[in-house]
Structures are given as structure tokens and as C-alpha cells.
A = this chain, B = another copy of it.
């Protein structure tokens, strides 16, 4: 009877520790030793499970993305109308579990690292595409597709921008007002937008 896999437990602990370390440091240049000791293990063990530092960081990013993805799916399920879908997406991004200091800083750090790391860039692309698709699912019924495309871009940019500014602790003081700002943008645009032709 093999010990009930301690491996997944350790991997999770190490990824959590990585997020904490990145959050504390504000950037990705945390040491393996720092991460490992936060997880209560030796740095050698971190290498044992993840091979190289880069892979641990990728796994960490993947986790952050997966969490956001999970939350998004859940939120979208409850949305009845296109407009509600938009709100769902916006709210998820500024929810208590996502819009936390350490997560925000990790996002920012990963954005920078993605400049050098192909795998990380690929992960961010996945995220960007998913966000775009989700937004489009709410926008397309409400306006012509070309307009929807542009608006999805605008919303995504505003969300990312609010993250950055929050990282500096120089933006809006609370998630609620950040979310409200995006919603306000959406409303302003929808006021004038004609719904898309029914046969679209």
C-alpha cells in the first residue's frame, strides 16, 4: 500500500510558496531556496519535483491561470443575459480571490518574464484568448462583430491597466470601484450601440 502520494501535496505546497514568494518580492527573481523554505522543504526537493526553476515558475503561472479560469467558468454559469456575462467576467477579475496583492504582483511579474520566456508567453496568450472569447460571448449579441472586437480589446486593456496601477498601490483603492469603472465603460458604450442583427 503505497503512501498516498505525497507528491501532489508537495507540488501544491511549492506552487503556493512560489506565489507567496513572488508576492512578497514583487518580482520573479525569487530564489529556489526562498520558495522551498516557505514550503518547509529543501531546495533540492523543489528541484526533485520540478526539475528546474523555470518549470516551477511555469507551473505557478499555470495555477494562477487555472484558478482564474475556474472562477470564470463558475461565474459565467450564473449569467443569464449577454450583459450579465460581461459583468460576470469583470467581477471575476476583481473578485476577492483574484484581486489580491500577491496575485496582482505575480501577474505583473509574469507579464515581464513572458518577454523572455516562450513558454510563459504561450501561457499568457492562452489567457488572453480565453478572456477575449469570454468577452465576445457577451458582446456579440449586443453590437456588430467588428465593434465587439474592438470593445473586447478595450475592456481587456482596462482590466490589465487597473491591475498594473493597483500593483503600484496608486490606483483605485478598492476592487469594487475598479470593477465599477469597467462596468461604466461598458454601459457608456452600450447606450449607443445598436444590438447586432438577430440573424448574426
Contacts and interface: CB of A to CB of B under 8 A. Distances in A.
A189 B157 CA distance: 17
A156 B161 contact: yes
Contacts of A188: 185, 188-189, 191-192
Interface stretch (A11-19, A52-60, A114-122): A114-122
A29 to B, nearest CB: 7
How many copies the complex holds: the figure is 4
How many chain A residues sit at the interface, stated as a range, is 35 or more
Interface stretch (A66-74, A82-90, A167-175): A167-175
A142 to B, nearest CB: 14
Given A160-B160, A161-B158, A125 B26 contact: no
A157 B166 CA distance: 10
A150 B112 CA distance: 28
Residue with the highest number of chain B CB atoms closer than 10 Å, among A29, A170, A181: A170
Contact of A168 (B25, B128, B153): B128
9 contacts: A29-B29, A108-B112, A109-B112, A153-B181, A157-B158, A157-B161, A157-B171, A164-B164, A191-B191
Q: Which 6 A-B pairs have the closest CB atoms?
A: A26-B115, A161-B161, A157-B161, A160-B161, A188-B188, A157-B162
